[in-house]
Amino acid sequence: MIEIQEVSVTYPNGVHALRNINLRVEKGEFVFLVGATGAGKSTLLKLITREVVPTTGKVIVAGRNVAEIPPHEVPYYRRTMGVVFQDFGLLPNKTVWENVAFALRVLGLPRKEIRKRTAHALELVGLLKRCNSFPAQLSGGEAQRVAIARAIANDPPLLLADEPTGNLDPDTSWDIMQLLSHINIRGTTVLVASHDKYVIDRMRKRVVMLERGTIISDVPCGVYAHEP
Amino acid sequence: MHMNLSHVEFLIEEALVNLRRNGLMTLAAIGTVALALAVFGGFGLIVWRLENLANSLPPKFAIDVFLKDSVSRERALELQKQIQKHPDIAQVTFKPKEQAWPEFQKELQQEITAALPYNPLPDSFIIQVKDPSRTGAVSAWLKSLPEVDAVRDAKEEVDIILSVAAVVRWIGIGGTLLLLIATSVIIYNAVRLTVFARRREIRIMQLIGATSGTIRTPFVLEGVVQGVLGAWIACGLILGVSQLVSHFVMRKLVFIDSLGGAPLPFWVVFLVLTLLGAAIGGAVSVLSVRKYLQAV
């Protein structure tokens, strides 16, 4: 699904975000990217969304070299993945329903199909009854559920989450992870960048640990107890 | 990229919903556009009026041509036809001496004129030139005609008015252009702020996989709507102020109206400002969004 080959990223300001990274994620996997702030987790996800292109090395997603996608095709490439942010990334002037439907409307789907998929996605995250609320009226957990509903509404094969529980209390974080796990079981490959030790340790999933731009450990069914 | 009807509908709906829900930002932008265009339009109107006034003055200065006493009435009428053919002359009016006399008597005190035993005035032509700047040349030609005794023109006055009109015109054109640039910059700033406030939305839309066109179009439509609404408010302001001015000021300065020069018809102001508002609003939206579209 994802192949990162000897990738380094140096930002224009001279910061080495990633140094010679190799990572392979198979279809249907659930992977945690862990590490302190600035370890390179976000940069790694941005390589996949093509917000960042590697300075050296190759990123291959679904058999395609991401760096070689021409700019006008990038929007279509991004429709093959759902993205969830720490700060939820909901459009503040749109209702819950409109936020989820928006992702489908930009695809140009017919109205009936949009209605069906929006309802389905909101039901999956348990927020169909709040569909007329605006983001400001939601709790953090609810907002993140809406963001997840939007990310999966299009049923993409890949879901990326950057610190999805960073702004949430432990119980809500656990619920959100359960939801992501549930989506993973339905067949979606899930990549989660996090430093939420409490959740990661209980999930028993593959854990890739980054430190100062390099991968220092990669264990299946791992825990985030591996402190240096 | 295929553009079906439901996608077009989606883009228009996006623009309208955004305008409504970003109410305060929208109002601020419309207000800025309205004020900027009102100043621009008001200045334009004043320049237009001055220019018109300056142009309307010189034709009032006709050339008077006095014929020699020896010229017969038949010859005079023939001469009128001949003069009429001159390419620079718009109109020739024959004023026979028996018509000029009572007018002259009315102008002066009757006691003086009544004392004269006969009509001392010659036959004359009153001549309007097409282009006031040709007054001197036309006068010279008229003087060279053997039947002509004397020519009276207002060449000096006409020249002064023409040079004042030229200055007014250049100040007007320069000022209008400067104001147009200033107006565009002010509107650009207002729209840029609304786009800046929503730059995160642009990023989110990009990550959802919206094409640049899908992101840009609602912003541009919003810019056009804001520009047009602002233009209409500006038209209202201009109409209101010009009514006030003509009601309170012009009544006391009647001579300005009597000098001539018609005011610019309101529909022209309306059309020009509406088109300008739409064009500037749309263009500055494209510019404002472009920066954020390049970011990712």
Distance from CA of B187 to the nearest CA of A (A): 23
Average pLDDT score, chain B: 82
Q: Give contacts of B207 with chain A, Cβ < 8 Å.
A: 49, 51, 78, 83, 89
Among chain A, residues having any CB pair with chain B shorter than 8 Å are: 49, 51, 72, 75-79, 83, 89-94, 102-103, 105-108, 110-111, 150
Top mean-pLDDT range of B81-95, B145-159, B205-219, B271-285: B271-285
The answer, for B294 touching chain A at a CB cutoff of 8 Å, is no
Question: Can you tell me the mean pLDDT for A120-136?
Answer: 92
Encoding tokens for residue B233?
């408010």
Cβ neighbours of A136 (radius 10 Å): 8
B residues 19..48 contacting A (CB < 8 A): 21-22
Residue B192's pLDDT band (boundaries 50, 70, 90)? confident
Size of interface A-B (CB pairs under 8 A): 55
Interface contact B210-A75, CB threshold 8 A: yes
Mean pLDDT of A19-38: 92
Q: Point out the residue among A93, A102, A108 whose CB comes nearest to the CB of B208.
A: A102
Distance from CA of B226 to the nearest CA of A (A): 18
Residue B184: burial class (beta carbons within 10 Å; 0-12, 13-18, 19+): middle
For the full predicted model, state whether its pTM sits above 0.90: no
Number of separate helices (H) and strands (E) present in chain B: 11, 4
The token duo for B37 is 């265009």
Distance CA B214, CA B217 (A): 6
> How far is B259 from chain A, CA to nearest CA, in Å?
57
Q: How far apart are the first and last CA of chain B?
A: 20
Is the pLDDT reported for residue A199 higher than 80? Answer: yes
Structure ipTM: 0.81
Cα B18–B224–B287 angle (5° rounding)? Answer: 90
Nearest chain B residue (CA) to A106: B210
SS3 B148: strand
Closest CA to A213 of A34, A5, A20, A59: A20
**Percentage with pLDDT > 70 across chain A:** 98
